[in-house]
Amino acid sequence: MKVFKGLLIAIVSIFILILIITVFLPSKYYVERKIEIQAPASIVYYLLDDFRNWKYWDTWWKLDTQQVRTYAGPLFGVNSKFSWKSKNKDVGEGEIQIVEEKPFELIKLALKFGKEMESSNQFRIMQLGDKILLTWSMEGELKFLGKWFRFFMDDAIGKDFEIGLKNIKSLAEEIEKNNLLFFQDTLPEIKIIYISDSSSIHPKEIATKFSDAFEELESFSKANNLHLVAGPIAINRAYSEKGYKFDACLPIENVENLQTQGRIKIGTIPKMFVLRAVYLGSYDRFQEIYQRIFKYMEDHKLAPKWNLFEMYYTDPMRVVQDDNVTVIYCPI
């Protein structure tokens, strides 16, 4: 009996000691990993900024490719988010949202994992000569007994960060080498304001017509306090030796009670499954790029089911031509 009481006292004492130690353990944790990438900041930033890219590089998608990912908000940028749900306990469920960003330099994200754990994530991009340094960090605070996991988090989460960064590096450098990379996913329905126009096939006339249309749309958007959910879009309606027909569009968040004027109209790009061709380079190579896209579709037995359209991710006034990122959507 004395032995049992002694053992019980020892167990209770150890438990009390653990609780006392736990009180004084630091609750905050910080994990950081870095990698150098031989590619422009614009394309690395796009791979991070559009959540539909994440399943092509994050480690958690590969743990369960049957997990359900639901996207909400803008296509990319602040307030875009996705949630996930998986039967795999290592993946679980959660939500991540972009809360702040500085184009081509910084993305801040709020992460919720399960019902208890929350953290702040950051991607920072720094130019290093002809390379960039990409840093991925995460910080948060653990609750009471969860503080003990702090000793294992750097190793466990750090390994996932290292793999993810290597995957980002591989994708970015592939685009830098080939100027083109293909993804397949579902594009949500997008509300747009647009202007239909036509032109000869002369590049300078096409550029002038687009510039005038987008300038008119942007002025209307600002006057009506419209919120854009993605970059400007050009829908290719028809192209031949006789001329070029197109729609210049701005994707907006809300069209309810919106009164248009002049040649501006309200429309919708329907929800569709697409081949998403990400192009890195100057606009003057579009003819060559479209030939490569059609060759890819032919080789993979894919046929367009709607008009192809371009989304201009980068502002050509802010980046050099070779660093422009254009996303060409091919409904299939």
Q: Write the pLDDT tens digit of every residue in 4-54.
A: 555 555 555 554 544 454 454 455 778 899 999 999 999 999 999 999 999
Q: Is the pLDDT confidence value at 184 over 60?
A: yes
On whether both 174 and 232 belong to a single domain, the answer is no
Q: What is the mean pLDDT of residues 90-98?
A: 91
Going from the C-alpha of 135 to that of each of 165, 178, 250, 292, 318, the distances in angstroms are 9, 25, 32, 33, 23
Enumerate the β-bridge partners of residue 267: 192
On whether both 109 and 226 belong to a single domain, the answer is no
In a domain, 238, yes or no: yes
Domain limit, last residue, from 140, 156, 178: 178
Enumerate the β-bridge partners of residue 135: 34, 124
Percent of the chain having pLDDT more than 90?
66
Instruction: Report whether 41 contacts 147 (CB < 8 A).
Output: no
Structural domain range at position 194: 185-331
Instruction: Report whether 247 contacts 199 (CB < 8 A).
Output: no
Domain limit, last residue, from 178, 209, 243: 178
On whether both 83 and 215 belong to a single domain, the answer is no
On whether both 190 and 256 belong to a single domain, the answer is yes
Q: What is the pLDDT of residue 207?
A: 86
On whether both 34 and 167 belong to a single domain, the answer is yes
In a domain, 174, yes or no: yes
On whether both 167 and 189 belong to a single domain, the answer is no
Going from the C-alpha of 242 to that of each of 198, 200, 201, 238, the distances in angstroms are 11, 7, 7, 10
Which residues, at least 6 apart from 279, have a Cβ–Cβ distance to it below 8 Å?
A: 179, 180, 289, 325, 326, 327, 328
Rounded to 5, what percent of the chain is helix, strand, coil? Answer: 35, 35, 25
Taking the C-alpha atoms of residue 329 and residue 313, their distance in angstroms, rounded to an integer, is 12
In a domain, 1, yes or no: no
Sign of the Cα torsion 184, 186, 189, 191 reads negative
Q: Is the pLDDT confidence value at 114 over 50?
A: yes
At 278, the amino acid letter reads V
On whether both 55 and 83 belong to a single domain, the answer is yes
- Please report, to the nearest 10 degrees, the dihedral formed by the alpha carbons of residues 199, 205, 211, 217 taken in order: -20
In a domain, 14, yes or no: no
Domain count, the chain: 2
Taking the C-alpha atoms of residue 241 and residue 203, their distance in angstroms, rounded to an integer, is 13
Domain limit, last residue, from 178, 208, 240: 178
On whether both 123 and 169 belong to a single domain, the answer is yes
Quote the DSSP letter at residue 214: H
Residues found in the chain:
332
Confidence bin at 172 (pLDDT 50/70/90): very high
Residue 302 belongs to a domain with what CATH number? Answer: 3.20.80.10
Q: Is the pLDDT confidence value at 290 over 70?
A: yes
Taking the C-alpha atoms of residue 230 and residue 188, their distance in angstroms, rounded to an integer, is 12
In the chain, the N- to C-terminal Cα span, in Å, equals 77
What pTM, to 2 d.p., does this model score? 0.87
**Tokens read off for 246:** 């197109």
Taking the C-alpha atoms of residue 332 and residue 272, their distance in angstroms, rounded to an integer, is 8
Confidence bin at 152 (pLDDT 50/70/90): low
How would you list the strands of the sheet with 81-85, edge to edge?
28-37, 131-141, 117-128, 106-113, 93-102, 81-85, 68-72
Q: What is the mean pLDDT of residues 166-183?
A: 96
Q: What is the pLDDT of residue 202?
A: 85
